[in-house]
């Protein structure tokens, strides 16, 4: 994850995704949580749950593919 963050700072977005595919859902989740601290959204509870599930699923799927458990 640290290497993918460094690749994001360098501007290499595709390499960051290949290094750690969950970087983008995680980034969106953290951005939303930061915004929600200052701005209250109407359905913030459901958006948080959706983003958390999306992030966890992305982590699990990338782990399964990298470990070649299924394939």
Q: Please write the tens of the pLDDT for every residue from 14-61.
A: 999 999 999 999 999 999 999 999 999 899 999 999 999 999 999 999
Number of domains in the chain: 1
How confident is residue 71, by pLDDT bands cut at 50, 70 and 90? low
Instruction: Identify which has the larger pLDDT, 70 or 10.
Output: 10
For the chain, give the number of residues: 71
pLDDT at residue 52 in the model: 96
The contacts found for 20-27 with CB under 8 angstroms, 24 or more apart, are 20/62, 21/58, 21/61, 21/62, 22/55, 22/58, 22/59, 22/62, 25/51, 25/54, 25/55, 25/58, 26/55
pTM above 0.85, yes or no: no
Distance separating alpha carbons of residues 71 and 68, to the nearest angstrom? 5
Domain limits for position 53: 2-67
How confident is residue 68, by pLDDT bands cut at 50, 70 and 90? confident
């Amino acid at each position: 994850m640290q290497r993918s963050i460094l690749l994001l700072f360098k501007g290499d977005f595709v390499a960051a995704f290949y290094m750690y595919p969950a970087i983008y859902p995680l980034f969106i989740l953290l951005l939303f949580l930061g915004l929600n601290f200052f701005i209250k959204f109407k359905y913030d509870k459901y958006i948080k749950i959706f983003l958390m599930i999306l992030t966890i699923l992305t982590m699990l799927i990338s782990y399964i593919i990298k470990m070649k458990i299924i394939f």
